[in-house]
Structure 1
Amino acid sequence: MPSEKSVTSVTQIPGIYVGHATNEEAGTGCTVIACPEGATGGVDVRGGAPATRETDLLRPEETVEVLHAVVLSGGSAYGLSASCGVAEELERRGYGLDVGVARVPIVSGACLFDLACGDPTVRPSVEDGRAACASALDGAGVPLARGNVGAGTGCTVGKLAGPERAMKSGLGEFVECAGELLCGAISAVNACGDVHDPDTGEKIAGLRNEDGALGSSVEALLGGYATMPLSRTNTTISCVVTNARLTKAQATKVAQMAADAYAHAISPTHTTNDGDTVFVMATGAVEAPVDVVGALATKALGRAIADGARQAESAYGYVAACDL
C-alpha cells in the first residue's frame, strides 16, 4: 500500500491505469481510466445534455457487478466510438466479464463537446480508444499528463457570452488521502460557466469581459447578456477512483456526493447546456465509511476541476488562465 505522502497521481492507486490519446491538430482526444481486474462502479448524471455509454448498467439494481474501464472523450456523441476500442484492447489482453463463451469488458463512458476547437470533422475513434487503453496499461505508475491532453484537448469554459469571450480549459486531477483511504479524481472541464478554486473562491477561468478581464457568467445570465450561440455544447465529465470497498449502491452514493464538487468549483453548473457526469470506480482494498469516501471524493474532484483550468495552455484562439 502506498503511503499517504507518496500518492500524487491517480496512476499510483494500485490496480488503476490511465492513458490518453491526443490529437493536438484536430483539438480532440480521449482519456481511459482502466481497472483490468475489475472495480465496483457507480455514476451520477446531472447535466441536461449528456452523451453516455453503459450508465444504466451501473445502477444498483442491475446484475453486472464489475466495471473494467471508464472513457472520457471529446467528439460529442461521435466520441462514444472510442469506448469500443477500449473494450477491444481489454479483450485482446484477456480482461473482461467471463460469460462462458467469451470475456466481455464492461466499459462505461461519457463525451464532451469540443467540435468548436480544431477540426470538427475529426473525433476520437475506435483506434484512439484502443491506443489510449494500451497507453494506460503499458504505462503503469507514470504520473498523468494534464492540461491540453486526452479528453481535455479541446475543453473550453465561460461560453455564455459566445466563444470570443470564452477561455481554454483542460484535464485535471487530484488525489486526497485519509490514512490508507485514497480518493483520486480526473476531470475534463468543458463547462459553460466559470471555474473557481473550491478552497478560496478565487476565479481561475471563465467568461471574460469586453476588456479581456475575468467577468462573471452568473451575472451575464442574470443580466440577460448570455447569448450561448450553440446550445448543449458543454459538459464536465469526471471519474473518481478510490481504493475503498463499496457496493454498487454505495458507489452510486459516492458519485452523487462527489457531484457537489461541481457546485464548489463551477458557476453556474448542471445547466441545460451541460451534460455533467461523474463516474466512480472502487477497487475494494480498504474498508471505509461511505460518507467518509464521499466527502474525500468531493474534495478531490473540486480540486481536480480547478487543476484542469490551471493546467490548460492557450490554444485554438482561446486564452488560458496561465496567460492572463
Structure 2
Amino acid sequence: MKLVRYGAHGNEKPGLIDKDGALRDLSEHVADIDPYVLGREGRARLAAIDPASLPEVEGTPRFGAPVAPVSKIICVGMNYARHAAETGQPVPAQPVLFMKATTAIMGPNDDVVIPRGSTCTDWEVELGVVIGETARDVSVDEALAHVAGFIVINDLSEREFQLEHGGQWVKGKSCDSFGPLGPWLVTIDEVPDPQNLHLWLEVNGHRYQDSNTSDMVFGVAKLVSYISRYMTLLPGDVISTGTPAGVGLGLKPPTYLRPGDVIELGIDGLGRQRQQVRAHPADASAAR
C-alpha cells in the first residue's frame, strides 16, 4: 500500500494511492495515518479494503507528511562511505546517531525556508524507515518485523549551525521546514529489499546525488536493532538512514541553497519530492 495524508497543513486527511495512481480517501475507515494504522493489525485491516470502494479524491491536493504523530526522528550520520570521505570523516565503526526536531517536519512539496542569516543550507536525500511496532532492544533478525514501511526524506542541514555553533549536530538539522517527508509511506510488504533502492537528488535540474542503498555502511535491519538498544522506538517514529555522496558541503567549492532554487529528489518505488527554496521573511525584508 501507498498511504498518504492530504489537504491543508494541520487539516490533513488519510488516504491511499491505488494501483492506477488515483488518490482514494480513507476517512470513513481511519482517523489518520497514525500508530493505530501502522502496526501489523492496522495494516492488515487497510489491506483488506478494496481501493475501488473508496471515494476518489478530485484535483491535486497538497500532500502532507504521510504519518502523524511522529514522537521522534532519529538520524544516522556518515552511513555511506563516499559521503564520509567527501566530508573528511572516517567510516564509523558504529552508527552515528543524532536527532532532528519534529517541528522540522513538513509535506514533500512544501517550500523550504532558509533560516535567518543562513549561508550554508544544504540538501540530503535519504531513505526513511517508519516504525510500526514498538521496538526495545530487538535483534537484527527481528528488526524488520517492527517496520511499517519506507518514505523519502530530504534531511536538510545548515552546515554553519551544525559544525560551527558548538555542541551537537541537532542545531543544524532542526530548523523549520528541514524535514520534508513523503509523498507517501510504502508499506514494507511492497519493498522486497530496502538495501537495493536507487536514490537521487537534483537542484535546478543538476543531479548532485545518485546512489543506491546497497552502499550503506549499516543497513536498515542493523540500524533498527542498534537504535532500539539505546531507546524505545514507537509506532510512527522515523529513522533517517543517512545520505550518499553529493551534498553541497562536499563540493569544491562548497555549494549551498539560495532563494529561488528548486530541489527535486526521489527513491525508486517510494515517490519523489519537489521543493521551492525561499528566504526567511526577515532576510527577505532586509533585501528589499
User: Taking structure 2 as the reference length, what is the TM-score of the superposition?
Assistant: 0.28
